[in-house]
Amino acid sequence: MSIQPLRISYIELRGTEESIESIEVVYDGHRGSIPRRSKCHFDADFDQLLTVRGVTISFSVVRRRKWHVGPKQAPEVIEIDVQDVLSNLPTQKFHTVRNKLAITIGLPPSSVPLYLQNVGSGRNADAPRPTTEELLNECYRFRILVVGQSGVGKSTLINKAFGIEQASAEDFEPGKANIEKELISPHNDRFVLHDGRGFEPAEGVACDDVKSFIKKRKKQEHVKDQLHAVWLCVRTPIKGHGDRLLEEGTETFLKEDTSVFQNIPIIVVFTKYDRLLTDMAMQRKADPEAAADQYLHQHCIHPIQEFAKGAKLSYVAVSSNPGHEQRRSQLVMLTHEKVTESFGSPF
């Protein structure tokens, strides 16, 4: 099953060859024909939104036989991961090119979660600055620096959110930091991740190394090579368990050094959120999730806002355990929304 239902307002396919005979969309055991508009143009509008609940949506493409002899060619099947489409919710459009076919999937405004519609500066998402579209076209991939001490669950989060198998435990051992190494998912290549470790001495990457990496990326000529967002991963602290909200180095960095980021979005990611839910359930809270959210704001978000005054931070709580896929999807979509928003801001 997909993380959430995918609702589609229109589908458009454009080819470069006239050999296409027909195209069908295939999803959840259903098939539907995509009408031809011209020789190489097929599209369909859905007044009643097409809803996909599975993990993939496919297109069956039938091409004419070249010499009109011999057996009929088997249809080409183009399969698209629903999660890849969902990651484009803030832009309300998913675009890809497969088998010489330009495929566009339109997403209705109602599909964008409410928490994304009012996040940030309040600028109208339908009226971006003139340069935003150009920057997004130039920058197919968003480059994210993932910072957090060992044990907060970074590698598991990256594996679960993006399917990056390279993010194994050995890649995250203290003393083996390689902040320049790119981690790219074969399932969602819209994001490039860099591991920044934590800010503590034992983490193998000092605070100065992180700042040096950020400054270096700022000087890159092409937008795609610059740094677009930072995930500051913090294990969700449990009151009474002796957990610290932030390590000393991280707290110092937020208090004194966030100016290096300028307009680069910083998202504080509270990991292992399931521990907090379990704790709320053990306290016999009537609504453990509501109690957990209240706890996060009171004991985590508010204290960070107090000592990191002036820093523009966003917050999201995630878990790598089964049943929390929606929260990981929120992190991906929030990152996309914040980066898009920063493209529309002055540099």
Give pLDDT tens digits for 329-347: 888 888 888 887 776 554 4
pLDDT at 180 over 60: yes
- State the average pLDDT for the chain: 77
Alpha-carbon gap, residue 312 to 263, rounded angstroms: 9
Alpha-carbon gap, residue 254 to 257, rounded angstroms: 6
DSSP reduced 3-state for 230: strand
Q: What is the pLDDT of residue 79?
A: 94
Q: What is the pLDDT of residue 340?
A: 78
pLDDT at 174 over 70: no
From 2-16, 92-106, 196-210, the region with the lowest mean pLDDT: 196-210
Return the H-helix or E-strand segment holding 321: none
β-pairing, 191-197 vs 142-147, is parallel
User: What Å distances lie between residue 18 and 41, 64, 125, 201, 302, CA to CA?
Assistant: 9, 9, 37, 62, 60
Average pLDDT (279-289) is 91
Average pLDDT (58-67) is 83
User: What Å distances lie between residue 33 and 25, 126, 250, 317, CA to CA?
Assistant: 6, 31, 54, 41
pLDDT at 124 over 50: no
